[in-house]
Amino acid sequence: MRSNSFFKPNLLSKSMNKIVLINKIRKAIKNYPSAILDYRRYFKNLKSGKSTASKGPMFYKLRNGLKFITRKGTGDIFALCEIAATNVYHLEKIKPTDIVIDIGAHIGVFSVMASKRAKKVIAIEPVSNNFELLKKNIEINRIGNIIPIKKAISSKTGKTKIYTGDNTVAHSLISKDKKNSSEEIETLSLPDLIKTYKLKKIDFLKMDCEGAEHEILNKMPLSVLKKIKRIHMESHELDSKRTRESIRIFLEKNGFSVSSKWGMFYAFRNNLSQIKRFKTTHL
């Protein structure tokens, strides 16, 4: 879920040659002409300030057999290309015994693809229309190892507002856009999630939560941090203290080896016993 305030520009087109991007889409999506057309349509509307509200359903079939329903002219196509075509989250790192948590599951592209590699996926998405499409995409692929949860991960369990707009990937707990509408949602802390589902480990934590990653990380209890082996996440610059560099410092001080590319962080550690809690004022 991305915020209009923090939503990055055309990351895929600016980060790689357009021909390379088109080839990646062709290799991943069977009906790639429709995907390329919708991708261009979405960014043209976004750039011109036109509405990116849904203009009806689209159906895509990947070459690996997975299927996805998206909303025409919306950011759904960006999510599909980002995850399925360019593999920005490096799905190959997921192992058959892994427990995966997807924070900001959106319409389920990452969760569905991860489910084919992992033992279990917990997909967390708070926005109603996204969540309904997430469930449909799980259903049409006949997947039984995804647990969808209609909540947002936060530092505490309760209720809050999420800011929404026309852009289906432009939803955030943080908003600077007064034009955004809002939806009251339920929140769930990671400790409560772990307790509810009796999780002994988190092998792969994926985060796409539009700035909320700063609070989630900074207020994460050591008992939870110890359970996490790998984090692949989008990072956002919110202000002078909540920066990408502050996230890198936090992760490295807590025992992770960190690499980054295109605003993404890839954090991994081999030895879970060497964790020492590092509190920082940067987050």
Q: pLDDT, tens digit, for every residue of 32-87?
A: 999 999 999 998 888 887 776 777 999 999 999 999 999 998 999 999 999 999 99
Token pair for 222 = 């050591």
116-144 tens-digit pLDDT: 999 999 999 999 999 999 999 999 999 99
- Note the pTM of the prediction, 2 decimals: 0.86
At residue 31, the pLDDT reads 98
Domain residue limits, the chain: 11-271
Query: Under CATH, what is the fold of the domain 11-271?
Result: Rossmann fold (3.40.50)
Beta partners for residue 231, in sequence order: 205, 267
At residue 129, the pLDDT reads 92
E strand or H helix that includes residue 261: strand 257-261
Model confidence at 4, pLDDT cuts 50, 70, 90, reads very low
Q: What is the average pLDDT score of the chain?
A: 85
Taking residues 153-175, report their average pLDDT.
70
Beta partners for residue 267, in sequence order: 231, 258
178-232 tens-digit pLDDT: 456 778 999 999 999 999 999 999 999 999 987 788 889 989 999 999 999 999 9
Work out the percent of the chain whose per-residue pLDDT is above 70.
82
Q: Does the structure show a pLDDT above 60 at 153?
A: yes
User: Dihedrals φ, ψ of 21, to 5°?
Assistant: -60, -45
DSSP 78-130: HHHIIIIIS-TT-GGG--TT-EEEEES-TTSHHHHHHHTTSSEEEEE---HHH
At residue 10, the pLDDT reads 45
At residue 282, the pLDDT reads 34
At residue 49, the pLDDT reads 77
**Amino acid identity at 59:** F
At residue 277, the pLDDT reads 46
At residue 1, the pLDDT reads 42
Q: Does the structure show a pLDDT above 50 at 279?
A: no
At residue 45, the pLDDT reads 84
At residue 55, the pLDDT reads 75
**Amino acid identity at 273:** S
Identify which has the larger pLDDT, 173 or 246.
246
**Amino acid identity at 47:** K
Model confidence at 177, pLDDT cuts 50, 70, 90, reads low
At residue 182, the pLDDT reads 79
